[in-house]
């Protein structure tokens, strides 16, 4: 069962402001936008925002396992599709939990272990033994390497 209300808690100085709205909104972003502007009208322009989604499970639809299997180019029996549906839904729900993570205090970065300006320069490199590499290629037409077709047009 899914909780029918989302709560947006906004703190203004020492006095919290709690707003509730039904889940009739098309997306979480439109709901947050609605509540944010409602709070601005009530409290003024200096709001710090904290968001919690009290849904028990993801608001996404149940996965269409037959379509997913077709997209992944695997064949599943109807029994296997029924068996995998709750497992796939569980994975979708796990990703839904990522929406609860507060990232406002985190500085953006390329990767966790990189610092700004530590990216190496992209410069071309010439191989010393180019002829040996070209000799190992089954189909080569200057300056292209021909490879077999790997995707079919549908």
Give CA–CA dist 54/51, Å, rounded: 10
Asked whether residue 3 is domain-assigned, the answer is: yes
Asked whether residue 123 is domain-assigned, the answer is: no
- Annotate 21-56 with three-state secondary structure: EECCCCCHHHHHHHHHHHHHHHHCCCCEEEEECCCC
Asked whether residue 119 is domain-assigned, the answer is: no
Q: What is the pLDDT of residue 98?
A: 76
Mark whether 14 and 40 lie in a shared domain: yes
Q: How does pLDDT run across 22-43, given as a tens digit for each residue?
A: 545 445 556 556 666 666 555 5
Q: How does pLDDT run across 50-103, given as a tens digit for each residue?
A: 444 444 444 556 678 888 888 888 888 888 888 888 888 888 777 777 777 777
- Boundaries of domain holding 28: 1-56
Mark whether 12 and 48 lie in a shared domain: yes
Q: Which two tokens stand for residue 152?
A: 């079919």
Count of domains in the chain?
Answer: 2
Asked whether residue 128 is domain-assigned, the answer is: no
- pTM score: 0.33
């Amino acid at each position: 069962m899914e909780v029918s209300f989302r709560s947006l808690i906004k703190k203004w100085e020492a006095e919290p402001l709690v707003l509730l709205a039904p889940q009739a909104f098309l997306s979480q972003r439109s709901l947050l936008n609605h509540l944010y502007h409602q709070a601005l009208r009530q409290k003024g322009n200096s709001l710090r925002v904290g968001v919690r989604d009290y849904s028990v499970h993801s608001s996404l639809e149940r996965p269409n396992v037959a379509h997913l299997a077709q997209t992944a180019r695997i064949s599943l029996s109807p029994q296997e599709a029924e068996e995998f549906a709750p497992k796939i839904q569980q994975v979708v729900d796990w990703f839904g939990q990522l929406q609860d993570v507060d990232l406002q205090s985190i500085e953006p970065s390329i990767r966790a272990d990189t610092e700004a300006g530590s990216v190496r320069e992209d410069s071309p490199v010439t191989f010393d033994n180019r002829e040996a590499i070209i000799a190992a290629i089954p189909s080569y037409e200057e300056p292209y390497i021909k490879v077999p077709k790997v995707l079919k047009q549908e």
